[in-house]
Amino acid sequence: MIELPIALADLWFGIVLAFLAAFLFLDGFDFGVGAIFALRTDATEREQLLAAIGPFWDGNEVWLVVFGGGLFAAFPPVYAGLFSRHYLLLFGVLGALILRGLAPEFYEQREDERWHRWWGRAFVAGSVGAPFLLGVFTANWVLGVSGIAPASVVVGLAVVALTVVSGAAFLGVKTRGSFREETTAYGPRAAVAYLALVVVALALAAPRLAFGPTTLFLVALSVALAGGYVLALRRGRYHLALATAGGLTAGLVALVGAWLYPLADPATGLTVADAAVGSPSIELLTGASVLLLPLVATYFVMLYSVFRGPIEPGETY
Amino acid sequence: MPIRPEHIHDGPNSDPRRPPRRGTDDEPAPGGGDVIDPALASRLQFALTTIVHIIFPVMSMGLAPFLVYFTWKEVRTGEALYVRLRRFWTKIFAISFAVGTVTGLVLEFEFGTNFAAFSETVGALMGGPLAVEGMMAFMLEATFLGVFVFGRERVSDRFYFVSSVFVGLGTWLSAVWILIANSWMQTPRGFEMVTENGHPVVALTDPIAAYANPRFPWMFVHMQNAAVLSVALFMAGVAAYHIYRRRHLGVVDSGNYDAEFWRATLKVALVVLIVTAPFQVIHGDAYGRHVAETQPQKFAAMEAVWETDSYVPEYLIAFPTSVEDLTDPRAKELFGIGIPGGASWLASGGDASAEITGLNEFEESPPVAVVFWSFRAMVALGFWFVVLAFWSAYRWYSGELYDDRLLHKALMVSALAGVFTVELGWIVTEVGRQPWVIQGVMKTTAGVSPGLTGTDAALTLGGFAAVYLGLLTVYTYVIARIVRRGPKPPESDAESGRETSTIDPAPEVTDD
């Protein structure tokens, strides 16, 4: 039949995981800001937290759209199998993302306290629920299980901790003064929690996972990056802290890739090579991405440089 | 009683003389203990989630050209009026866009969760357009929206204007890719069926044939014009509401009534209405002909023609005289006013004697009543919009645009009619293609996720019904509130705006 371009299949496996990593990092700090929102009660502070993510969250969330689209386009049987097996879990993710997306939009529409309280809760529930459930989903994917496995729940919590790690560093960039001191203080604690949860998850999942040089290296790298993160935060190098948080996220997704490969879906035993779409679909997809992804990168550089630096007084959501 | 094709459910090998029964033959019966047939629940859920979702892209795609225009005028003239126009309508755009993002993500996930078999079959052909939509359109739109909504003070005028263009371009490019995927499902070509990993799979053989689909330009033009028309109606309705309250009811309570703003809104909206409403009717007529050629089954359902016939009349107005007419319309038996040969003329492009293939020629039919009545209502509303356009144009010409009470009322009641008509159009398009999900290639029931249980499906269906009801309520409430309060007054601070709203006694929404 059609001769499968193996190299392109592997490339797309990497690209799809990179989309996932981009989402978990970029929207991750939005989620982290949402978690920190729960810990702050002052109305002005909460307003600042919403203003910090205002221009970014929508663009950041598109990485999940391209992750879904990329998986659908490059590995249709994996997309179909994975999404239908984790039916309720994914609707949970969607529900959380609906809450997170709408809450700030609606929060701003009225001034009264009850309205703010409820949309504030919705914002927190969405911001914490989405990464938790996505973590459970990703762990289930790697382990080839469905339902709610203990190891997956721990991974879910680890992803939530990771979003707080990113969120605290992001607020280090976006806020100033005592508010910055207080919000960035959540970062080191979250980093420790993240490492501890990862260790617990690995212990729980150990019977199902094989440890090789790559995976051990990635775990060691994560520990080193977490250390670097704490140091950077302590020294007030917030951009560097944000970058190490990004490294931590990339490391986690790289672990996912290392454990999956050469399988694309351990539950069905489908390999990356077998699951990939044939020619010419995959070539067209690759061509389109080669043209578009540099543009996408430009948009993000543009967006983040327009809104670089701290939130200015008077800037609201 | 003659056997009607819509009673046959189960594919080619079912005997047309057998009494209709669900869940027989090749279609697996719903599981014994299941609360609901997962296929039915998935279809209802997809219908519900698309019907709700499409409202928001219509709002954002339709508002986009207006926002580009307001921004252009603001940047060029620096007039405060355009700042107010741009700000006010951007607020509605931003909320609609946020809701559109989250409800759109639901659809992308649902292909996998509920229609896994369909996804696996079409992934090689339809996955690409969806992925490219994300990278090309959505990324552009979402990033520049950040600048457009939050960055007025941070960027130059020129950059700001470019942002408005890119946001608009993004929303329209999104439609390009979604409609490329959808049009292929209406008139599929450029592929062959192969078996992969034990499943029937569509393999792309000719990308140009598949993606440059004959249906695409029809859908795109019809949809984009509909979106702009719908938003023009919405803006005109909102403006008419404010002008009517002030001029005819003499309400002066809202201290921030902005005559200049609402008059400008009304005029801009009417100019667009006058262009788009007649165009939609003319274009729709030609589009109908294309459907008759490429999807005769759908066209027969739109016209409720059962027996193949020539000189088929077009019923401009059809009255159901019994419940049966309503639920099972047959053009020949309806009491209506028809143009002799009109449907034939429509289908053939000018030949009143042309033959129309009846539904009896096909093994299965779509739910004819839904398609027939939705089509009638869509066309009737389309003509109503033309009437509104000419009426407004005449009043404008005669200098009575702000005086015609009846016109203002008509515009007000039509404010949401455009969006409603878009829904009707999509119902004709999608329900009219049933039982096929890909015309002539794959049945909708065959596309459902094989492992899906009725309990899970019922749970999410119920969840969506509740969540989307809440979502629509809050969205309507928030938009109605913004519309009622109007723009921020030209020379006053936020404080006074707040004050007026609490004493605003508008009846439909109460603040607490």
Asked whether the beta carbons of A24 and A162 are under 8 A apart, the reply is yes
Question: How close does chain A come to B224, measured CA to CA in Å?
Answer: 23
* pLDDT greater than 50 at residue B479: yes
For residue range B112-154, what is the model confidence (pLDDT) as tens digits? 999 999 999 998 899 999 999 999 999 999 999 999 999 898 9
Percent of chain B with pLDDT over 70: 88
B253 within domain boundaries: yes
Closest residue to B133, CB basis, from A69, A109, A275? A69
B334 within domain boundaries: no
A288 and B128 within 8 Å at the Cβ level: the answer is yes
From CA B385, how far away is CA B398, in angstroms rounded? 20
B257 within domain boundaries: yes
Q: Which of B59, B90, B150 to mutate to test the interface with A (most CBs of A within 10 A)?
A: B150
Section A224-242 average pLDDT:
95
Asked if A3 is an interface residue toward chain B (Cβ–Cβ < 8 A), one would say no
From CA B130, how far away is CA B107, in angstroms rounded? 11
Q: Three-state DSSP class for B201?
A: strand
Surface of B (80-99) touching A: CB under 8 A: 94-95, 97-99
A87 and B199 within 8 Å at the Cβ level: the answer is no
Q: What one-character DSSP code corresponds to residue B193? A: E
From CA B238, how far away is CA A209, in angstroms rounded? 61
Residue B85's domain comprises 37-281+394-496
From CA B219, how far away is CA B204, in angstroms rounded? 22
Task: Return the structure tokens found at A237.
Answer: 């190098």
The pLDDT-based confidence of B259 (bands split at 50, 70, 90) is: confident
Closest residue to B135, CB basis, from A61, A81, A296? A296
B151 and A306 within 8 Å at the Cβ level: the answer is yes
B303 within domain boundaries: no
Residue with tokens 């799979």: B201
The pLDDT-based confidence of B292 (bands split at 50, 70, 90) is: confident
> Quick one: pLDDT at residue B13?
37
From CA B440, how far away is CA B435, in angstroms rounded? 9
Cα angle vertex B174, ends B382, A249, to 5°?
Answer: 150
Residue with tokens 């040089």: A213
Surface of A (36-55) touching B: CB under 8 A: 54-55
Of the candidates A214, A186, A196, A215, the residue with the CA atom closest to the CA atom of residue A40: A186
Task: Return the structure tokens found at B383.
Answer: 């003509």
B98 within domain boundaries: yes
SS (H, E, C) B260-277: HHHHHHHHHHHHHHHHHH
The reply to whether omega before A280 is within 30° of 0 (cis) is yes
Asked if A95 is an interface residue toward chain B (Cβ–Cβ < 8 A), one would say yes
Asked if A81 is an interface residue toward chain B (Cβ–Cβ < 8 A), one would say yes
Q: Which of A20, A60, A67, A84 to mutate to test the interface with B (most CBs of B within 10 A)?
A: A84
User: What contacts B137, CB < 8 A, 6 or more positions away?
Assistant: B170, B171, B172, B173, B174, B176, B177
Q: Three-state DSSP class for A236?
A: coil
pTM: 0.87
Q: Three-state DSSP class for B335?
A: strand
Of the candidates B478, B486, B499, B506, the residue with the CA atom closest to the CA atom of residue B263: B486
Continuous H helices in B125-247: 128-132, 139-150, 157-186, 207-211, 215-247
Asked if B27 is an interface residue toward chain A (Cβ–Cβ < 8 A), one would say no
Q: Look at B18-27, B320-329, B422-431 and tell me which has the smallest mean pLDDT.
A: B18-27
B504 within domain boundaries: no
> Quick one: pLDDT at residue B30?
46
Taking chain B, what is the end-to-end CA distance rounded to the nearest angstrom?
A: 60
Number of domain units in chain B? 1
Q: What is the ipTM of this complex?
A: 0.90
Of the candidates A2, A72, A66, A63, the residue with the CA atom closest to the CA atom of residue A29: A63
Q: Which residues of chain A does B114 touch, with a Cβ-Cβ cutoff of 8 Å? A: 84, 87
Section B39-44 average pLDDT:
92
B22 within domain boundaries: no
Q: Which residues of chain B does A109 touch, with a Cβ-Cβ cutoff of 8 Å? A: 478, 481-482
Residues β-bridged to residue B317: B337
B154 within domain boundaries: yes
Surface of A (260-279) touching B: CB under 8 A: 270, 274-275, 277-278
Closest residue to B105, CB basis, from A65, A277, A296? A65
The reply to whether omega before A131 is within 30° of 0 (cis) is no
